[in-house]
């Protein structure tokens, strides 16, 4: 990649990760499906928007992400790496095969028993994070994934 300060494109490398397709773009960064060139595994990589955050905000975000990377819970997306390639910061996590809860709710009806089960699952995941001293400050349907088996995964 010639200039990491520009928006990345398909097939470019950031660190050891080859970008495959953009999955979304949020306030803090663009999220891509990528391939780990060391082992061939598909991962999600968030490329931090440097132009939208000052150095202090970036440092704070990456500190929080590193803390969250210590969590191990089946309903919390695992952070695998926080890195830097040139002047570009990135965050690598497990890739969830599914859609956001926000998108799911636009397509399907969530019956009360299912909503109650999901609320309990999310409550347990958040309790796990809270016990580790981590508070999710932006919990919303767009930051929860529903995988192809119907399991929930808290991200961001």
Hey, which residues are catalytic here?
138
CB 75 within 8 A of CB 121: yes
Which one, of 92, 96, 61, 98, lies nearest residue 79 by Cα?
Answer: 92
Local structure of residue 49 (DSSP, 8 states): -
The pair of three-digit structure tokens given for residue 127, joined into one six-digit string: 């309790």
Check if the beta carbon of residue 36 is closer than 8 Å to that of residue 16: yes
């Amino acid at each position: 990649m010639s200039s990491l300060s520009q928006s990345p494109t398909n097939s470019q490398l950031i660190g050891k990760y080859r970008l495959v397709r953009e999955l979304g773009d949020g306030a803090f960064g663009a999220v891509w499906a990528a391939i780990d060139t060391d082992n061939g595994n598909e991962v999600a990589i968030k490329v931090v928007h440097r132009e939208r955050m000052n150095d202090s905000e970036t440092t704070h975000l990456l500190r929080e992400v590193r803390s969250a990377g210590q969590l191990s819970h089946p309903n919390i997306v695992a952070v695998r790496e926080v890195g830097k390639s040139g002047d570009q910061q990135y965050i690598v996590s497990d890739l969830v095969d599914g859609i956001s809860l926000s998108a799911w709710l636009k397509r399907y009806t969530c019956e009360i028993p299912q909503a109650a089960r999901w609320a309990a699952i999310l409550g347990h995941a958040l309790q796990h994070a809270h016990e580790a001293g981590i508070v999710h400050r932006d919990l919303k349907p767009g930051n929860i994934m529903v995988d192809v088996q119907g399991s929930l995964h808290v991200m961001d």
